[in-house]
Amino acid sequence: MIRRDPLSSRVTLAVGLLAALLAVAISAAANIGVVTKVLGGDLVQFGESFRARLTGIRAPLRSEPLGDEIYDFTKRQLEGQTVRLVTWTTDNTAAGIVYDEEGYARVQIFYGRLSGEKGGGVSFNEVLLKKGYARVDPKYLPDELKYYLDLEKDARAKGLGIWKTLAQAAADD
């Protein structure tokens, strides 16, 4: 009769659980996800319930001028796509992730070729700014993204997107 050491069994179980937890942590640390639904020009959903708003920018609501066009663009570009998310924190922990007043995590999304690799892909936040499809939201603009102000300024100077619509509205008044 073979007798098992209860301590050995517990150690084996603990090592197995630790390995599983580390695998989950590594996957979570990669911040890779599939956009399951686009909720607005700057608001997306991952999985069943995680919703995030693009950090540093604000796109028009669907009820505002160009809102439907920008929503459709975001939907065509992101829905069903695997993207890389970059979050900002107040204290370098998951508990410190920056959320806005509506309870949405603030993220930068990278999509397209190589988006799963660090430093790869194209920042969708920047795409919206360059097309004039969003404006800078200074309340949620991390220091590392202050160059967004220049992207907005360029789109405004070229009269793109919302800046064209605003210029037309001002001319009509």
For 8-33, write each residue's pLDDT tens digit: 555 444 444 433 333 333 233 458 89
Structural domains of the chain ordered from first start = 30-164 (2.40.50.90)
pLDDT at 154: 97
Report pLDDT digits (tens) over 56-113: 999 999 999 999 999 999 999 999 999 988 887 766 555 668 888 899 999 999 998 7
Reduced to 3 states (helix: H, G, I; strand: E, B; else coil), residue 68 is helix
pLDDT at 21: 35
pLDDT at 34 over 60: yes
pTM of the model: 0.75
CA geometry: angle at 107 spanning 124 and 120, to 5°?
Answer: 50
CA nearest neighbour of 42 among 121, 117, 104: 104
Q: What is the DSSP string of 73-86?
A: HHHHHHTT-EEEEE
Contact 49, 127 (CB under 8 A): no
155-168: average pLDDT: 87
pLDDT at 90: 64
pLDDT at 113: 72
